[in-house]
Structure 1
Amino acid sequence: MALALLEYLDSVKERDPAARSRWDVILYPGAWALLYHRIAHWLWVGKLTWLARFVNHFSRFMTGIDIHPGATIGKFFFIDHGFTVIGETATIGDNVTIYQCVTLGGTNPSTGVGGKRHPTLEDNVVIGSGAQVLGPITVGAGGRVGANSVVTKDVLPNTTVVGIPARPVPVDLVHYSPGFIPYGTPCGEDVDPVRARLATMEEELAELRAELASLKTRQRPRPESKVS
């Protein structure tokens, strides 16, 4: 138990440069929210749903983080800051990082049957602050969701998506931040899908203008030579 706690604290410290020691991490609301969720989930699985919800509400009051007792969470899960909502059927893998004000939200089942309504985050996923990941979709292993993005479709493994709706960024991210990318958001204008698309359209427009100018030159009538 003690070794598992130390491993968890070290995993958080590796992802947060503001944590100067394990004692800092112990005070994080995300660490306490995870502890409360482990208790609530154990009660939920044991069919003690009212007690599970009570622990859930107490945790939300104490930490500002709302994790439904039914959510399944793997090892070394880290919520940086708080004000995050995680739905009942959400599934979270190992080494996942979520920043503040994130929602793992569900869809409204038209059949009236709950089923799988919330996202699945595979291992080593990073969700940036303010992102909304909605529905029974999957963010593949190593995937990153940029800040304030809205994700409603699956994200392929090792892919970074940004924007509303979220789209994959068009460049290799190693240049910007090899390995772990804080907030899941690469910095640089050329990783904006809209800007990249505009740049592509400008190149295509320049090529069309060049072709049009060439056609005009070839179709221009040649001056008649004078007969002496």
Structure 2
Amino acid sequence: MGLRALLREDLAAHGGDWTRPGFRAVAVHRFGVWRMGVEPKILRAPLSILYRWAYRKVRNGYGVELPYDAKLGRRVVFEHQSGIVIHGCCEIGDGCVIRQGCTLGNKTLDRPFDAPKLGRNVNVGAGAKLLGAITLGDGAAVGANAVLTRDVPAGGLAVGVPAVLKERRPA
């Protein structure tokens, strides 16, 4: 899928509002991934300078740290942006929602490449911390301010500090 098509889809996922910081963070991420495919490297250089400027503007201005080397699915939404930190080795599946104050990162300096993998349609509550090489199954949910260091099965709900699995009640 091309850059324009992905951006159109992301814009729709963010309510069609191109001024939302969450959309802008995703757009900068998509641009960063796209520019890495530009050959030769001499043509990529000015694009890399533009990407680094936009990345820092999004990180410092909106509080969303989303490096281009993180794997981002389609229609990912960053709600109520501020204080969101995503590890570069993190994988986020299609249709995920990540809210303010979330950290998806490694647990220790001894294992710098360990990062969470989120399945499709995962819902991460405000202030949640997902740490280490953990996997969240499709449709999983993480409660607000939860500290999660272990896997969550598909459709599971993790809440608390440290997070424990709870039974999901139907809506």
**Structure 1 vs Structure 2: percent identity of aligned residues?**
32
Residue of structure 2 aligned with 1:146, choices 143, 147, 161: 143
Aligned match of 2:96: 96
Which of structures 1 and 2 has the larger relative contact order (alpha carbons within 8 angstroms, sep 6+)? 2
Residue of structure 2 aligned with 1:35, choices 24, 27, 45: 27
Taking the TM superposition and a 5 Å limit, the aligned residue runs for 1:209-228 are none
Aligned match of 1:165: 162
5+ residue gaps in structure 2? none
Q: Distance in 2 between matches of 1:136 and 1:102?
A: 16
Please report the TM-score for the alignment, with normalisation by the length of structure 2.
Answer: 0.82
Q: Distance in 1 between matches of 2:89 and 2:6?
A: 25
How many matched pairs?
161
Q: Distance in 2 between matches of 1:87 and 1:2?
A: 25
**Matched residue type, 2:10:** Y
Aligned match of 2:59: 60
Distance verdict in 2 for CA 1:107–1:4, change over 3 Å: closer
1:82 Cα offset (Å): 1.1
More strand as a share of residues = 2
What is the Cα-based RMSD across aligned positions, in Å? 2.5
User: Any runs of at least 4 consecutive aligned residues in structure 1 with deviations exceeding 6 A, and if so which?
Assistant: 45-50
1:150 Cα offset (Å): 0.3
Q: Distance in 2 between matches of 1:117 and 1:44?
A: 23
Q: Distance in 1 between matches of 2:133 and 2:152?
A: 12
Distance verdict in 2 for CA 1:41–1:2, change over 3 Å: closer
More helix as a share of residues = 1
Please report the TM-score for the alignment, with normalisation by the length of structure 1.
Answer: 0.63
Residue of structure 1 aligned with 2:114, choices 114, 117, 132: 117
Matched, 1:70 2:69: yes
1:132 Cα offset (Å): 0.2
8 A Cα contact 1:44 1:70, kept in partner: no
